[in-house]
Amino acid sequence: MSTAIISSQPTSMPNGMNSISASVLRSSPRVGIPLSIAMAPAVACPVDHARQQVDEGIFSSGSSVSDVSTESPKVEFAVAFDIDGVLLKGGEVIPEAKEALRMLNGENEDGIVVPYIFLTNGGGKLEQDRCKELSDKLEVPVSTSQFIQGHTPMRNLVELYNTVLVVGGVGDTCRKVAETYGFKDVITPGDIIAWKPDCVPFRTLTEEELKSCHPRDFTKVDIQAILVFADSRDWAGDQQIIIELLTSVNGRMGTVSKTSQEGPPLYYSHGDVVWATSYSLPRFGMGALRKCIETLYTESTGKDLGSTLMGKPHSTTYKYATQVLTEWRREIHNINKDPTRVYMIGDSPFSDIRGANQFGWISILVRTGVFQGGENAEDYPARSVQNNVLDAVKWALANEKLPENQRIS
């Protein structure tokens, strides 16, 4: 079942945005914004926020970002880290992670400081909150300008949609994230269940959950887009509501479209089917929920459902990350040009390695997360496979010392 469906008709964009040509990605049943528009302009927001952090010294580990930008030879390369399964697992720090970051921050035999960013499909919290958590756990300063979550680029959908359903995360945390991004009217599945409890059978909201709900008559509300920010905590209930809206008239609950294609567009912050937790085997994630929704939609309508995916392995995410990385190098490391080479260190062949390979980054697969297999991944092999993130960093630094005709690139 295809994720991206090509639109044959241009779509007008609100607020003076240019129309979308036939080459844009379509989010069935309605046309969604193409990823290139949704993501690229968002770079300025985290960078501006980081500048403020540097000015104010807002870093929880007792040091500032400027501490890592000490005088050192200007390097042509950079590093991008996935987080879950590479630096953390089940919220706990992978033992080699701290030393790996210290090594890039200058604790290496050549004394070079290597720019790096964090590129994760995870989410469900504000970027600054995730950065503070990472900084505390890894004992290095982490800025929002070097940190990209799966839903970070969704901030640019604010110009397109006023009323949105935000799915995933704990409680109404994702509502708060969306409101911080600038969305004016944010609805959660809990709001809808509190309004009509029988719309989701077998689901009873707790008293604590009800405190954060904002019920109203959703037969009179046009929900303009569905944004899956983070992994669902209630697959059954979220699917009931999402599919009803997809087959509704203009995103109004309790209505049924004759064509099943008058509902709001559907966006996912990533498409990972599995991810690494503290459990011994990978667990199903947002990509698996997407497969379920597509199957149920097709079963009930006889039509295919398209959706717009952000996050890895999509090339637009890597373009966005390159822009963020270039800004980070310029602002903090005083290197005023794009990196010549970027090493992507990840644990998922499907998202991390596949995306890096397609975009021309140097992929390094570690065995501490989703991938725990043999010499290399069969479907999406990496340029190098290492036991852990520290070995991966050491391999990257060693590769940079090789003559150009011997270097893996």
Q: pLDDT (tens digit, 9 = 90+) per residue, 121-138?
A: 888 888 899 999 999 999
Please write the tens of the pLDDT for every residue from 240-274: 999 999 999 999 999 999 999 999 999 998 888 88
Where do the structural domains in the chain lie, given as residue ranges?
77-149+313-406, 152-309
Residue 163's closest CA among 173, 175, 171?
175
**Which ranges of 86-199 would DSSP assign to H, the alpha helix?**
97-104, 127-138, 173-181, 189-195
CA distance 301 to 297: 6
Cα of first residue to Cα of last residue in the chain, in angstroms, is 34
CATH topology assigned to domain 152-309? Rossmann fold (3.40.50)
CA distance 367 to 377: 10
In the prediction, which pLDDT does 72 show? Answer: 57
In the prediction, which pLDDT does 387 show? Answer: 97
Query: Is 34 in contact with 20 (CB distance < 8 Å)?
Result: yes
**Bridge-partner residues for 77, per DSSP?**
341
- Strand, coil or helix: what is 360? coil
In the prediction, which pLDDT does 347 show? Answer: 96
**pTM for this model (two decimals):** 0.75
Residue 2's closest CA among 23, 27, 24?
27
Please write the tens of the pLDDT for every residue from 175-197: 999 999 999 999 999 999 999 99
Q: What DSSP character marks residue 406? A: T
Amino acid at 237: G
Asked whether this chain's domains 77-149+313-406 and 152-309 adopt the same fold, the reply is: yes
In the prediction, which pLDDT does 314 show? Answer: 86
The torsion angles phi and psi of 111, rounded to 5 degrees, stand at 65, 25
- What distances in angstroms separate CA 322 from CA 71, 156, 253, 328, 348, one per listed residue? 23, 18, 40, 10, 20
Tokens (6 digits) for 17: 């945005």
Is beta strand 25-26 parallel, antiparallel or unpaired with respect to 88-89? Answer: unpaired
Please write the tens of the pLDDT for every residue from 316-341: 789 889 988 999 888 888 888 889 99
CA gyration radius for the chain?
Answer: 22
Which has the minimum average pLDDT: 43-52, 115-124, 376-385?
A: 43-52
CA distance 60 to 138: 11
Mean pLDDT computed over every residue of the chain: 84
- What distances in angstroms separate CA 319 from CA 41, 249, 310, 330, one per listed residue? 11, 35, 12, 17
Cβ neighbours of residue 300 closer than 8 Å, sequence gap 6 or more: 243, 247, 260
Whether the per-residue pLDDT at 12 is higher than 90: the answer is no
Q: Is it true that domain 77-149+313-406 has CATH number 3.30.930.10?
A: no
Give the angle subtended at the CA of 313 by the CAs of 342 and 277, to the nearest 5°.
95
Average pLDDT over residues 68-90: 83
Please write the tens of the pLDDT for every residue from 196-235: 999 999 899 999 999 999 999 999 999 999 999 999 999 9
